[in-house]
Chain A
Amino acid sequence: MTTDLIVFLTLSLVAIATALGMVFSRNAVYSALFLVLNFVTVAVFYLLLGAPFIAMSQVTVYGGAIMVLFLFVIMLLGADSISSTSDLPWQKPLAFTLALVLVVESVYLIVSRAQPNLGITAPDASLNTMDSLHQMALELFSKYLLPFEVTSILLLVAMVGAIVLTKQKKAGQGS
Chain B
Amino acid sequence: MDWTIWLEWVLKGFILCLILLTGFAYLTWYERRALARIQIRVGPNRAGPQGLLQPIADAVKLIFKEELTPARVYKVVFILAPVLTVVPSLILAAVIPLGTSFNLFGREITLFIADVNVGVLYIMSIASIAVYGIVLAGWSSNNKYAMLGGIRSSAQMISYELTLGLSFVTAIIMGNSMNLIDIVNAQKDLWFVALQPVGALIFWIATLAEVNRAPFDMPDAEQELTAGFHAEYSGMKFALFFMAEYQKMIVVCMIMATLFFGGYLGPFVDKFPLLGPVYLFAKVIVLLFLMIWVRATWPRIRYDRLMSFGWKILLPLALAVAFITATGILLADLYKNQLYMWSIPVLSIASLLVAVAFIYRDLRRKSHGRI
A64 to B155, Cβ gap below 8 A?
no
Is there a chain B Cβ closer than 8 Å to A68's Cβ? yes
Among B117, B139, B158, point to the contact of A68 (Cβ < 8 A): B158
CA distance in complex: A63, B127 (Å): 11
* B74, B125, B154: the one within 8 Å of A56 (CB): B125
- Contacts A29-B139, A72-B154, A133-B178; A65 near B118 (Cβ below 8 A): no
Dominant secondary structure at the B interface: helix
In angstroms, how far is the closest chain B Cβ from the Cβ of A62? 10
| B217 proximal to A (CB < 8 A) | no
- Residue numbers in B under 8 Å from A52 (CB-CB): 116-118, 121
Question: Count of chain B residues with Cβ under 8 Å from any Cβ of A?
Answer: 28
Establish whether residues B121 and A71, one from each chain, have CB atoms under 8 Å apart when the complex forms.
no
Instruction: Name the interface residues of B74-133: CB closer than 8 Å to any CB of A.
Output: 74, 77, 116-118, 121-122, 124-129, 131-132
Other-chain contact of A63, B116, B128, B158 (Cβ < 8 Å): B128
Q: Which residues of B contact A63 (CB under 8 A)?
A: 125, 128-129
Determine if A65 and B158 form an interchain contact, defined as CB atoms under 8 angstroms apart: yes
- Minimum Cβ distance to chain A for residue B198 (Å): 24
Q: Are B154 and A68 in contact (CB under 8 A)?
A: yes
Q: Is the interface of A mostly helix, strand, loop or mixed?
A: helix
Q: How far is the CA of A29 from the CA of B76 in the complex (A)?
A: 12
Apart from A33-B136, A59-B128, A63-B129, what 6 extra A-B contacts exist at CB < 8 Å?
A: A30-B77, A52-B118, A56-B125, A69-B158, A71-B139, A72-B155
**Chain A residues proximal to chain B, CB less than 8 Å:** 27, 29-30, 33, 36, 40, 43, 52-53, 56-57, 59-60, 63-65, 68-69, 71-72, 75-76, 130-131, 133
Q: Which residues on B are within 8 Å of A, measured CB to CB? A: 74, 77, 116-118, 121-122, 124-129, 131-132, 135-136, 138-139, 147, 150-151, 154-155, 157-158, 161, 178
